[in-house]
Amino acid sequence: MPVSTILDQTRDAMAKAVEHTAHSITKVRTGRASASLMDNLKIDYYGSPTPLPQVGSVSTPDARTILIQPWDRTTINAIEKAIHQSDLGLNPSNDGTVIRIPVPPLTEERRKEYVKMCKKMAEEGKVAVRNIRRDYIEKLKAAEKTEHFSEDETKRGEAEIQKITDKYITEIDAVLTKKEKEIMED
């Protein structure tokens, strides 16, 4: 396997790790209503766990309210139950046809908890990127033996993998900084 292929695979794997980390961090609540808060919520729909967006429409009519309009009105109680049991800390109310969820503003203490949680997610993402670096450097060294690269090529490949690693860790830091600002300023 040529060095360029290993570098491409490294970039792809690290990009996926960064994308996953960024997706996790964006799910953290900021005090503003966001339909994406409901994306991972599963409700008991006729005995099988079903993602909420598949059983109703989720919208945000204003910055402090999430509105859920189930396609099947018999699911209202199941949706409310799932929201109560989730770790979102939200209190839904229904009028028989739609569910309204007021999103309360965050307290300073809660904001700090969310920032700490985001930092933990970012650190997990960085660890994943570093693990990918380690794995691909090992692949590079193994390929040196089987493909008979020169030692210089291996060293250049390792240096390039380190540059790629630094780039993706910087991206994770940028996502974290943006989210921290969003949480603390709302």
CATH of the domain at 8: 1.10.132.20
Same-domain status, 95 and 129 = no
Among all chains, which residue has been given the structure tokens 């429409």? Answer: 57
Model pLDDT, residue 165: 95
Q: Is 102 helix (H, G, I), strand (E, B) or coil?
A: strand
Q: What is the CATH number of the domain that holds 89?
A: 3.30.1360.40
d(CA 13, CA 133): 9
**Same domain flag for 77 and 139:** no
Structural domain ending residue among the three candidates 75, 102, 129: 102
pLDDT digits (tens, 9 = 90+) for 135-151: 999 998 888 888 877 88
Strand, coil or helix: what is 42?
A: strand
The domain in which residue 80 lies consists of 35-102
Sole residue written with tokens 């999430």: 66
Please tell me whether residues 13 and 52 are part of one structural domain: no
Determine contact, residues 63/94, Cβ cutoff 8 Å: no
pLDDT of residue 72: 86
- pLDDT classification of 159: cutoffs 50, 70, 90: very high
Q: Which of 5-14, 40-49, 87-96, 109-118 has the highest mean pLDDT?
A: 5-14
- Assign 44 a pLDDT band (cuts: 50, 70, 90): confident
pLDDT at residue 186, as a whole number: 62
Same domain, 134 and 92: no
| Res 122: pLDDT | 95
For 110, counting Cβ atoms within 10 Å of its Cβ (0-12 exposed, 13-18 middle, 19+ buried), the class is: middle
Where is the domain boundary, 102, 124, 142?
Answer: 102
Tell me how many domains the chain contains. Answer: 2
Q: Burial of 11 by CB count in 10 Å (0-12 exposed, 13-18 middle, 19+ buried)? A: middle
